[in-house]
Structures are given as structure tokens and as C-alpha cells.
Structure 1
């Protein structure tokens, strides 16, 4: 798992990257929780998501948003972090030009950034939004949401109350042409304390089913 440094909008960004054996393998980008609350690319859930994609033959990248670890710049309340994520995807696509499709997985703050990136990049064919916070962040940009994906959260989450997440899910489920899969982890808080294995089992099952052609878009994706 090589350490990598690549150029971002506010300076260098630090990441961890694993290339797939197949030249045309899909790409996965994994985004970490809030930088102001201890979020880094070494978060245990981010780390496990990274390896979940690696083990399924994805070319995979996780990285530190600006101002975290060896990444340069300062926290920018989401706008700059979205630019960081776009730069990260640009960087990995430049190295792997034969990769046509990609996935984005984000946890907490990272899920908000990931969903915004999804709106900008038509090559993103699947997403995992883990413990999103529609009570704290505006998700109204998902109009419409262009890809099918997984929204997963805990029923004891006090940071992102289940009723708020449910409202987001209900809104997205009214859209035609995509399939939103919702999973709720019983007893789990925002950090999935003592419930990370269950979280990862649900994410893994979802990804495997998508790779098998299930739970997917009704209409074909249009690539840029």
C-alpha cells in the first residue's frame, strides 16, 4: 500500500493507494470524517472500507483532506474538501486512464463530500454513505441523485438522528431510475462503537451484490 503525495487545490495531499492488477479495474475513493473532530484517512472504518474495495479488485485511494497529516492547506468547511476529493479522483484517473467506472464511499462528513462529488462526476456508478448528517449538512443538491447506493447508519446515532437520515432516504427513494438501499445497525452510535464488524458486513454484502448485478440502476449510466 504505497504512500502517495499528489497536488491538490491548496497544496500537496497525502494519501494511501493500492492499484488493482487489472488495467481497467474500477476505482474506489474513500473519504474520512470531519477534520475538526479527529477525522483522518487512518480512521478504522475508512481503513476497513479501503481494504474491502482492494480485496474486490478495485484500484483504491484514501487520503487526508487539507490540513490533516501531511496534507497542506487549512480546513475550508466543505468547499475546499470537495475540491480535494475532485483532485484526488483526477489524480487516480490520470494514472489509470483505462478505468471507466468508480465508486465513492464516505463516512460522516466524508459522506457529505462524497455525495457532492457524485453529482459532479457521471462516472461514479455507486456510493456508500455511512452515517450521513442531513441534520447538520445540506443534502438538497441531490436533485436528482444520479446513482444507486447504500445509506447506512445506527439507530442510536445522536450526532445524526435516525429520523433525519430517514427523511433523506425517503426523499431519495422517490426518484426514478436509481435504487437506494438503506441499512440500520441496531444499537450503533455515530462511531459504530462495538458495531464496526456489523457495519463492514453490511457494506461488504452490498458491494458484492452490486458487483453481481443486483441493487443497481434501472437505466444505464452515461459516461462523460
Structure 2
């Protein structure tokens, strides 16, 4: 797993990168939790999601947002971090020009950044939003959400209360042309303490189903099958 340094909007960004053997393989980028509350690319959930995608033949990238680890710059309340994510995706795509699709997985703060990036990049065909915080961050930009994906959270999450997440899911369910899959892990808090494996298993099951052409609207399946 090579350590990489690449240019970002506020200086260098530090990442970990695993290229797929297949040049046309999809790209997966995994975004870590809040930089000011201990979030880094080495968060165990981020680390394990990285390998989950890598084991399924994706080119995988995780990186530290500005101000974390060897990444330069200062925390920018999400604005600069979104630019960091866009630059990171540009960088990995420049190495894999034959890859036509991408997935974004984000946890907590990273889920908010990932969903914003989703709106800007039509090549992102799937997402995993883990413990998003619609009670803290504005998700009104999802109008409409362009891709099907997974929203997964804990029933005992006090940072992102289940009713707030449910409101976001309900809003997305009204949109046509996408399919939002929601999973609630009973007993799990915002950090999935004691439920980490259940979280990873649910994410893996969802990704496997999507790779089989499931959990998307019928019109998407037909297009994929041409």
C-alpha cells in the first residue's frame, strides 16, 4: 500500500493508495471524520473500508484532509476540505484515465464532504454515507441526489440522532431515478463501538449487491446491461 503525496489546493496532501490490476477498474475514495475531533485517514473504519474496496478490485485511495498528518493547510470548515477531496479524485483519475466510474465512502464529516462531491462529479455512481449528521451540516444541496447509495447509522447515535438521519433518508426517498438503501445498526453509537464488524459487513453486503446490479432502479439495471 504505497504512501503518496500529491498537490492539493492548500499544499501537499498525504494519502494511501492501492491501484487495481485492471486499468479500467472503478475508483473508490474514502473520506475520514472531522479533522478537529481526531479524524484521520487511519481511523479504523476508514482503514477497513479502504481494504473492502481494494479486495473487490477497486483502485482505492484514502487521504488526510488539510492540517492532518503530513497534509498541509489549515482546517477550513468544509469548504477547503471539499476542494481537497476534488483534488484527490483528480489525482487518482489522472493515474487511471481508463477508469470510467467512481465510488465515494465517507464517515461522519467525511459523509458530508462526500455527498457534496457526489453532486459535482457525474462519474460517481455509488456512495456510502456512514453516520451522516444532517442535524449539524446542511444537506439541502442534494436536490436532487444523482446516484443511488447506502446511508448507514446507529440506533444509539447521539451525535447524529436517528430521527435527523431519518429525515434525510425520507427526503431522498421522494426522488425519482435513484434508490437509497438505509441500514440502522441496533445499539450502535456514532463511533460504532462494539459494532465495527457489523458496520463493515453491512457495507460489504451492499457493495456486493451493487456489483451484481442490484439495489438500483430498474432503468439503471437496463442501461448497465447493454
Which consecutive unaligned segments of at least 5 residues does structure 1 have?
none
Distance 1:126 1:142 in 2: 14
**What is residue 2 of structure 1 aligned with on the other side?**
2
Distance 2:43 2:55 in 1: 18
- Count of residues paired in the alignment: 222
Q: Deviations over 1:88-113 (max 9, x none)?
A: 00000000000000000000000000
- Shift, 1:217, TM fit: 4.2
- Shift, 1:216, TM fit: 1.7
Distance 1:218 1:122 in 2: 19
Superposition map of 1:182-221 within 5 A: 182-220=182-220
Matched, 1:31 2:31: yes
Distance 2:217 2:42 in 1: 31
Q: Deviations over 1:167-193 (max 9, x none)?
A: 000000000000000000000000000
Q: Structure 1 residues 23 and 39, CA, compared in 2 at 3 Å: closer, same or farther?
A: same
Q: Residue 190 of structure 2 aligns to a residue in which SS? A: coil
**Conserved? CA contact 1:134–1:168, under 8 Å:** yes
**Conserved? CA contact 1:126–1:148, under 8 Å:** yes
Distance 1:118 1:75 in 2: 21
Q: Deviations over 1:7-44 (max 9, x none)?
A: 00000000000000001000000000000000000000
Distance 2:18 2:216 in 1: 26
Q: Residue 97 of structure 2 aligns to a residue in which SS? A: coil
**Conserved? CA contact 1:13–1:64, under 8 Å:** yes
Distance 2:99 2:218 in 1: 22
TM-score of the superposed pair, with normalisation by structure 1: 0.98
Distance 1:4 1:181 in 2: 33
Query: Cα RMSD over matched residues?
Result: 1.1
**What is residue 134 of structure 1 aligned with on the other side?**
134
Distance 2:211 2:98 in 1: 18
**What is residue 111 of structure 2 aligned with on the other side?**
111
Distance 1:11 1:27 in 2: 23
**Conserved? CA contact 1:147–1:217, under 8 Å:** no
- Shift, 1:115, TM fit: 0.1
- Shift, 1:219, TM fit: 4.0
Matched, 1:92 2:101: no
**What is residue 177 of structure 1 aligned with on the other side?**
177
TM-score of the superposed pair, with normalisation by structure 2: 0.97
Which consecutive unaligned segments of at least 5 residues does structure 2 have?
none
**What is residue 165 of structure 1 aligned with on the other side?**
165
Distance 1:219 1:102 in 2: 20
Distance 2:142 2:155 in 1: 23
Matched, 1:144 2:130: no
